[in-house]
Each structure stands twice: as structure tokens, then as C-alpha cells.
Structure 1
């Protein structure tokens, strides 16, 4: 671990931790302190760190600090968890934004290689770019899920900012991105050009109303994600009671926590970022962000590890003929969750190297039985062909 990139947690906060209930999260975390240095990471499954970078935010350009958020999180009590967690402190903004990106990329990559899931607390959301770049050397195609009111595609020909980082992810080498899913977008915040671009790239976009009408429909989306980014601006202002996020529509507290839990449950998600955090959000907002973290960790505790080869051998197989296709579905006898197979195409320069299972819902299977091809299967197959 690159200790030079990480500054310790403030001594005032360390002193407060000593006064907490011994059953609280803060009393059980391994902490990066000035006196003891970075904690031992052997056996740690989750590592939290903040990034005080906000120079490319299109919102207020204030440097975030995470002490108040940490206070709110440390005071919470864990669930019936069997998880060992650490708080590594903060990455201070570098001399340039690119320096900060490099530090974040290096830390996230190092943690993932140690089978430790990083929770990144960020300033501006362009830090997702650095979170994504951590996968460059991990030899895999990457699925990104973004909880946001905007697509954040932007103009890839212009300098990167908090609302154009996805465009940079798409065009910058190495090309690791297989799928991008935007959850909770609000049409009036996105240009028609961006909406059409999402369609042309066969990316997935789910409107706020579609998501809130049945949150469970998002579980398969998260189940296929490698990394998840959450823009706090996707939450309605009433839930924050703060003038910084002037968003009359958005997810409420219960909805955003439910989505975070779905992200945590996913066996594939290996990094989670919460972005656009600002100073002075107040007690209510900090408590909500702390609870988002809590629900993500709660989800992690209930992972079923169904991505393993041995687990997949137990899946029940269903074949559904539609026109010239035979769709192959699989159901887990343990969790009751469903997948659909994306076939390997040996006659094209495919991005998929083998038969790949795409998470889906039971409704997708039932619709296929009624001769309706699931849209997610079609988009995944088309991306495989181009």
C-alpha cells in the first residue's frame, strides 16, 4: 500500500473514537493514525478512504473534508456482520488533478488485488475515472453502474470534468468498458444527443420514475457491475435539507439505501464510490451518507458467492426457443436469482472470450416464454458483435 498517498485520520477524531460504545463501528474499525501509521490489512475485507479533490466539479468548488461524515458513520452499530473493516484516512488533492487520479487508481488497484473492497468517499465525481482506471491491469472487461440524474457522457474532446468523465472512459485507451448503466436519470437534465448516444452504444439507462416504481428491477443491473459510482446529487433535496443539492426530484433516503444494498449484495462489485460530497452538509445529510455506507456493507455481508464455477454447476438450466434463437436461462437453487447466457461468437473480434451469464430477472424468463426477447440480452449481444 502506498502510504505516501494517504494522510491519517485527525487526532481529534481518534480521541472521540475512544469514547464511543465498544460495539459501535468506529470502535471496531482498524484506523490509520499518525502515531501507528496504516493498519495491518491482513484479513480486512473493506477499506474506506476519502479523496479531498474537487477542482473539476461543476458544482461548488470547495475542498471536502470527511470528519463529520466519519463521526456519523463511526457512531452507527454494525449489523450481524462478519466483516473486518479499515479506514485508511484521506488522499489529499495532488499538485495536479492527474496526480490525484494516479493516487486513487494506485490505491484502488492495490486493494482489489488484495481482495479488499474499497469504499471511496469523493469530492467531484470525475474521480470515477480514476476508480475505473484501477481495473486497467486486472485483465478484465468492466461494467460500470452510475447512480445519477445525468449520464455524465459530456464532450470527450474537451477536458474532463465531473459531468464528462464517462465520455473519457469510452474513448481513452485501454478500452476496458463493456457496459455502462445509468440508474435514476432525469430526462430534462440530459440532452437528446446524449440520450441518442446511450442508445447507439447499447448502454443501459433507467429513468428515475422507472426505478422508483420497482427498485427490485435494479438488482440484476448491480449484479453485473464491477464498480459502482453514486452521485449524491441523485438524492432529492428534501432528504438532505441542504441548499447545496438543489434537486426537487430524486431518490429519497430509503430508496438510495436500498440501491446501495443491492450494490453490496452483488458478488461482482469490487469497488464502490460515493461522490460530490461537500463541506457543511449538516447532521441530517451526513447521517444519510453514513447510512448509505452502512447498507452497502450490510449487502456485502449477505453475498452468496454465486460467481464461482462450483456454484454455477448447481444452476438449473432452461432453454427457450424464440424465432431463430434459443435463449438459455439459468436459475440458482440457493438464491432463486436468474441469469441468461450471451453466446460466444467465434466469427467476430468479440469482447467476450467465453459464454457469459448476464444477470436477469424471473420476469425476463417469463417474457421469453411469451416470445419476447429481453432488451438487455439484445444489447449485450450487439455489443459482443461490434
Structure 2
């Protein structure tokens, strides 16, 4: 793989690794080093790389440095994983921000084509745009889940920034986006215009309090995602112990790690980005981000591959008549997870080629039995019709 825009892990970290317990992640991960170059990716399941780009962030002078984050992550012990990991080093900022986007897009696309899940450590969250564009040549509609206090829709007519990339994703061709879900938004950080636009586009939005009151209800949201992005600003400042993230409200350490694990365990998620890493965060923040990455990989390790046609043949089917509709639910006998069918409209030009199973919860099935149509099904069906 020729990616000469990647810079290696620095030599000081290599010296640190030599002193680690031989069972730690750092002693077993394949590394991009100055001496040996980019590692062999045959058999690798998850590849981590940093992107030191933040020119479109609020504080562009705080160029991210992931050295201490790597030190914290390498020192962790893996779970009972069957996965092979690689650290590809960092993408340095290009001559223009668009050059950086191009590098990220190409690297993510290449890794996905090799069945390797990229974990992107990034500066400005506008890098999600490049993560999304990596799917342009993969011939599929994608669902994007964003863990963030803001929707980041912004003004699509203006230059892309870390708070306006979703608008660009919606309006720029090619159109690959089927659904956008915002997890953990806080109303006072979002204008009413943006809240109303989310409704008009049939996108999904879950308030911070709604998520934290029963975090397990978010599992189906991540199960339908292809791309997951996380803004570190969604975490409360106390958990990060950093003045940069200046919001007293947000997810705590346990909650953000639970969401990360849901992202990892989803059979569909093929790329994961952690953004708004600024400068060189303190030890506590770096340890939390290291654990966020750890929980994502832990989730990947325990995937059940229920997204295959053969697995779906084993599902138990339930039909629920509501008014003039018949809702079709499926339940996995292995994991106990639920799905609901979105019917394909043959007269509509869409990349949804067949009946699509939308992840849902048992509560959705029970509500349907009480003649209440699940909101996620309604929004997905409406998006298929427009």
C-alpha cells in the first residue's frame, strides 16, 4: 500500500513500548515506524491513524499531537480479542485542507476495501466529510451517526467547518447519505432553524437527557450505522479535565464508552472517527480517549455477523397489522436483537435495492402491538418515498 503522506509513530514512543508488559496492546500492535515503514496489513482487522488537521476548527493554533494518547492506549491490556491491530501513524496537514480531506478519503476507502476498519483520530470534526466521501465508490447508501452536542448542519453555502460539515454532506454530490442521527445533542447549542430542518429531512435527533436516561435504547441506532463520528466536546468537561471542552454538561466516562462499544459491536459500522482532539490533552483526557478506542475494538471483537443473508434466514418473523399497514418484525434467536422491515418502493429511484431491515428495540415491537407506529420506521419509510 503506497501512502507516502503518512508519517511514522515517533521514536520516543518506540522506546516506551520496549518497557511495556509483553501482553499489552503496544507490545502486539503492528506499527508504522521510520525504520520498517508501513506495516504489512494482511490479516489486520482494525487500523488506527491520526490526522493532524484542525485549520477549520475553532482554535486552529492547537495542532493535535497524539503521542501521549498513543502512550496511554499502548499501555492498556487487550480483552480476549481475536483481532489484529495496526497503527499507521499520522496524516500531516496538506498544502490545503482539501488536500488533507483527499488523503483521508483515499486511506479510509482503501482500508474498507481490504475489510479493515479504520479508527480515525482527528483534529477538526469537519474531517467527517472526508470520512463520508470515502464511500463514494463503494456503491451504497450510508447511515451516519454523530455523537455530538450540536447537529453541525451549518450553512451549506459557506465554507465547510467543524460545525457545518453535515450541510455539505446533504447537498454535495454524489448523494450517498440515507440517514443522519445526532446522539446527545443539547438544545441550547442548536438554533430552532436547525432543529426544524432535522425534522423536515426526517433525520433522527436524541437529546442528551433522553440518551443518558436509558443508554441501551441507543444500541439499534448504532446497529444501523455505517459511519460513526464522535466529537470529544460531547463529553462533560469534568470527565476530560480540560478547559478546552468548556461545557459542564455532557456524557460521563462510562456513558461515552458504552456508546463506543455499541458502535464497535454493530455489524455495519465500517469506520469510526474521534474528533476535536486539540493540542496535547492531559493524562486524564488521554486515558479516557484511549478507553473509548479500547471499547470500540472490544465491540468489534464481539460482533455476531447477523448482517448476513444466511443469519437472517434464522430470524423469527412477527407481523403486526396497524391501520392499513402490516409491520414486519424480526428477532434474532442468537442475540435477541430486533429489526423491522422497510418496504422497498419499486417506482422510486433509490440505492435501497431491496427490503431493508431497520434495527429496532423490543419496545418498538411492543408499542406496535399497541397500535403505535415506531417513529424510526416512519422516518425511514418517508425518506424512501421522497
1:316 has 2:309 as partner: no
1:356 has 2:341 as partner: no
**Which position in structure 1 is the counterpart of 2:23?**
23
**Which position in structure 2 is the counterpart of 1:251?**
251
**Which position in structure 1 is the counterpart of 2:172?**
172
Is this contact kept in 2: 1:244–1:281, CA < 8 A? no
CA distance in 2, matches of 1:35, 1:241: 36
**Which position in structure 1 is the counterpart of 2:151?**
151
**Which position in structure 2 is the counterpart of 1:383?**
383
CA distance in 2, matches of 1:71, 1:58: 26
Is this contact kept in 2: 1:121–1:274, CA < 8 A? yes
CA distance in 2, matches of 1:59, 1:332: 47
Is this contact kept in 2: 1:349–1:385, CA < 8 A? no
Runs in 1 of length 4+ with deviation above 6 angstroms?
Answer: none
CA distance in 1, matches of 2:311, 2:82: 21
**Which position in structure 2 is the counterpart of 1:100?**
100
- Residue 278 of structure 1 and its aligned partner are, at CA, apart by 1.4
TM-score, normalising length: structure 2 = 0.99
**Across the two proteins, how many residue pairs are aligned to each other?**
386
Q: What are the residue-to-residue correspondences of 1:217-256 with 2, within 5 Å?
A: 217-256=217-256
CA distance in 2, matches of 1:197, 1:24: 46
Structure 1: tracts of 5 or more residues without a match:
none
Is this contact kept in 2: 1:20–1:27, CA < 8 A? yes
TM-score, normalising length: structure 1 = 0.99
CA distance in 2, matches of 1:74, 1:178: 36
CA distance in 2, matches of 1:34, 1:128: 28
**Which position in structure 2 is the counterpart of 1:200?**
200
- Residue 259 of structure 1 and its aligned partner are, at CA, apart by 0.3
**Which position in structure 2 is the counterpart of 1:286?**
286
Structure 2: tracts of 5 or more residues without a match:
none
CA distance in 1, matches of 2:185, 2:59: 18
- Residue 241 of structure 1 and its aligned partner are, at CA, apart by 1.2
**Which position in structure 2 is the counterpart of 1:80?**
80
Is this contact kept in 2: 1:119–1:272, CA < 8 A? yes
- Deviations 1:274-305, CA, capped at 9 Å, x for gaps: 00001232000000000000000011111000
**Which position in structure 1 is the counterpart of 2:325?**
325
- Deviations 1:210-248, CA, capped at 9 Å, x for gaps: 000000010000000001000000000010111110011
Is this contact kept in 1: 2:124–2:277, CA < 8 A? yes
- Residue 353 of structure 1 and its aligned partner are, at CA, apart by 1.5
- Residue 207 of structure 1 and its aligned partner are, at CA, apart by 0.1
Secondary structure, counterpart of 2:44 in structure 1 = coil
- Residue 348 of structure 1 and its aligned partner are, at CA, apart by 2.5
**Which position in structure 1 is the counterpart of 2:42?**
42
- Residue 2 of structure 1 and its aligned partner are, at CA, apart by 3.1
Is this contact kept in 2: 1:315–1:332, CA < 8 A? yes
Secondary structure, counterpart of 1:37 in structure 2 = coil
CA distance in 2, matches of 1:5, 1:338: 43
